[in-house]
Amino acid sequence: MSRRVSLCAALFLIASLTPAVSSAASEQSLSLSAGVSTTYNSNFLEYSDNQIDRFKAGTNALRFSLESTDDVIFSPGVSLQWELDQGSGRKHALRAHWDGDFHGSNPGADYRSYSARWTESFGGGRRFAVGYGRMDHFFVRQLRDEDLPVLLGDARWQRAEFDQDAITASWRQDVGKDMNLGLAYRYEKRDYNAAFVERSSKNNQGVVTLGFDKLPNRGEIELSAGYRQSKADADDGDGIAGDDDDVSYHGILAGANGRMQLSRSKALRWTGDLGVDLATRSYDSDRSAAIDPFHVGRNDMLIGFEAGVRASWKRWDARVFGRLENNNADLGTGASPTSDSGSYSKQMVGLELSWSGDLWKSAKSN
């Protein structure tokens, strides 16, 4: 294809995606959303009970490199969104978002992320969105680098972290009078630091949701089911084949979430929410148990429960929430849980505050 033909095709594609001038009234707006949450997490790195006991004993400080296994986490976030509303349900929106986690006692676990999303809305409750997100230096925990000499002892335990790029796409539409159907796909690429490059992975996830709205007291219920597959590199590039951990896995996702208005006055509205989610992981390591004892034959099941109460006043929202999470890991080989994630439980309680409003809005035009 010649350069001229390629240019014409590109211009045609851009023109077809550019919002058309509608004969109906249309308006543009630029809005800002800002929020902050403070959360107490009893086990933010998801250590097993045995690992927590070892940390408290203080005999293996290099294995943890932490001040505490619990922490208070401060999480600010801000979003900027441009929207063009052409009427009759036709909208175009572009949203940019930034957020971060900042730990009170363990600043080495801080991270930041940013994302952008384009959304096209159509009549009949139909909506399509695509997005990209980036997360830098996410701290997993201290892990043992098997390539270092055994004589180094606990000094073999090194910081494990990764950078993540994610691409998302979703479709939502009304089905029937009071239901909606959603489809979502997510692709992730995780790049670990040099000591643990064998854990770098590509992840694919698909989720189907079925929502029921217009329930009594402005209630809504959403059911979800999905599948996730993670394929790890399982090779650190040292030229020795099959001597590294393989953290590849596959598993199902499921969840049910609901919300309902509890009370409403002229200025203040109270809403309650409740949710449960489940995720399984079946590890796909084809190594021998002697080389990869923590993943060969391993199966995990995670169950989480969350409840919250939200108060809405004008452009302000405040939500108090609590979450219980338990992960049961069957290592399958009787491996010690002291060097990799095993069974764990954690509790979280927190407060979220947010504000949203228009920075600018155009007059309606035909």
CB 75 within 8 A of CB 39: yes
In-domain check, residue 205: yes
In-domain check, residue 7: no
Q: Where residue 148 sits, what CATH number does that domain have?
A: 2.40.160.40
Q: What is the pLDDT of residue 341?
A: 61
Q: What is the pLDDT of residue 212?
A: 95
Using the structure block, give the residue that is written with the tokens 């619990």: 70
| Amino acid (1-letter code) at residue 38 | T
Residue count of the chain: 366
What is the Cα–Cα distance from 351 to 321, expressed in whole angstroms?
7
Q: What is the pLDDT of residue 163?
A: 98
What is the Cα–Cα distance from 241 to 266, expressed in whole angstroms?
68
Which stretches in the chain have pLDDT values below 50? Answer: 1-18, 20-23, 339
In-domain check, residue 250: yes
Q: What is the pLDDT of residue 338?
A: 53
In-domain check, residue 19: no
Report strand pairing: 111-121 vs 344-361.
unpaired
In-domain check, residue 16: no
Residue 320, C-beta contacts closer than 8 angstroms, at least 6 positions apart? 308, 309, 349, 350, 351, 352
Q: What is the pLDDT of residue 40?
A: 98
In-domain check, residue 15: no
CB 172 within 8 A of CB 213: no
> In this predicted model, what pLDDT tens digit does every residue of 88-98 receive, in sequence order?
889 999 999 99
State the residue range of the domain holding 145. 26-361
Q: What is the pLDDT of residue 12?
A: 42
Sign of CA dihedral 214, 219, 225, 229: positive
Q: In this structure, what token pair is assigned to residue 198? A: 């064998």
What is the Cα–Cα distance from 210 to 205, expressed in whole angstroms?
17
Q: What is the pLDDT of residue 313?
A: 95
Q: What is the pLDDT of residue 334?
A: 56
Q: What is the pLDDT of residue 60?
A: 87
What is the Cα–Cα distance from 189 to 356, expressed in whole angstroms?
32
In-domain check, residue 331: yes
CB 251 within 8 A of CB 283: no
Q: What is the pLDDT of residue 42?
A: 98
What total of structural domains would you count in the chain?
Answer: 1
